[in-house]
């Protein structure tokens, strides 16, 4: 078997790989003479509705409006959700130790010291070391296929330093990961600095919120402060 045939065979065995992350918002700045907002019309198209926002902008002909993707968000194609995992990651610096995370979705929560059922969450376990991370995989597509959400859903992120000592800020990250090869999907990463609480048991300090909006052909992920 030659090299080309072998490569094709390996790709087929590995399965499909998700690759479509794109900004479908027009991002065209339209002047606003006589109060007419062209971007409002663009953003109200069926394929863009609820995914893109109308914001002010500056054009060569003066102030205007544009239809664009909101900050700290990305848009993915609906037809490839079965190929990826949605992952929430909590990480901390090398001079910090033992951040406890808790991720909430629908009526379940998963994390250090969290009890109860969490059928759509998979927590990777407690990490007490320096410069570490904890992750939780969220099966939002599985929940949708069971009829638990249609147009909008959200993922709650909570975190606290174990014990009573505040060790400073940490990082919250959201990304999509290919199920076939475990590689992070390009342009699907969002992150922000968070301020965890302190305590023991299941973390109760809100540090972030992932807002998921499903449109006609695409879905938008946004990472925001709680």
Extents of the domains making up the chain: 19-69, 76-224
CA distance 81 to 212: 13
Give the CA count within 13 Å in the CB-facing half-sphere of 211: 12
61-to-29, 32, 33, 58 alpha-carbon distances in Å: 10, 9, 9, 8
Phi, psi for 141 (deg, rounded to 5): -70, -40
Query: Each residue of 198-211: b (16+ CB within 10 Å) or e?
Result: ebeebbebbbbbbe
Which distant-in-sequence residues (6+ apart) come within 8 Å of 44 by Cβ? Answer: none
Kind plus residue range of the DSSP H or E element containing 174: strand 170-178
Which distant-in-sequence residues (6+ apart) come within 8 Å of 54 by Cβ? Answer: 37, 39, 40, 43, 65, 66, 67
The pLDDT tens digits along the chain (226 residues) read 443 343 333 333 344 444 457 788 988 888 887 666 788 888 888 888 889 999 888 878 788 889 999 999 999 999 888 899 999 999 999 999 999 999 999 999 999 999 878 999 999 999 999 999 999 999 999 999 999 999 999 999 999 999 999 999 999 999 999 999 999 999 999 999 999 999 999 999 999 999 999 999 999 999 999 7
Q: What is the pTM of this model?
A: 0.86
**CB–CB of 19/61 below 8 Å?**
no
**CB–CB of 134/124 below 8 Å?**
yes
**What does R_g of the chain's alpha carbons equal in angstroms?**
21
First to last CA, the chain: 55
């Amino acid at each position: 078997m030659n090299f080309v045939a072998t490569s094709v065979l390996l790709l087929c065995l590995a399965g499909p790989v998700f690759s479509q992350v794109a900004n479908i918002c027009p991002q065209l700045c339209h002047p606003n003479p006589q109060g007419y907002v062209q971007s409002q019309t663009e953003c109200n198209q069926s394929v863009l509705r609820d995914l893109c926002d109308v914001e002010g902008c500056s054009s060569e002909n003066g102030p205007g409006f544009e239809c664009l993707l909101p900050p700290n968000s990305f848009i993915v194609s609906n037809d490839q959700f079965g190929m990826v995992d949605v992952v929430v990651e909590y990480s901390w610096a090398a001079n910090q130790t033992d951040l406890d995370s808790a991720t909430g979705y629908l009526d379940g929560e998963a994390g250090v010291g969290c009890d109860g059922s969490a059928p759509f969450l998979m927590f990777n376990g407690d990490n007490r070391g320096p410069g570490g991370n904890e992750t939780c995989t969220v099966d939002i597509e599985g929940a949708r296929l069971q009829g638990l959400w249609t147009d909008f859903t959200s993922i709650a992120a909570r975190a606290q330093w174990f014990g009573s000592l505040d060790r400073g800020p940490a990082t919250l990250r959201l990304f999509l990961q290919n199920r076939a090869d475990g590689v992070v999907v390009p342009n699907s990463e969002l992150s922000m600095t968070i301020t965890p609480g302190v305590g023991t048991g299941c973390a109760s300090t809100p540090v972030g919120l992932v807002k998921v909006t499903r449109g006609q052909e695409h879905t938008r992920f946004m990472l925001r402060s709680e």
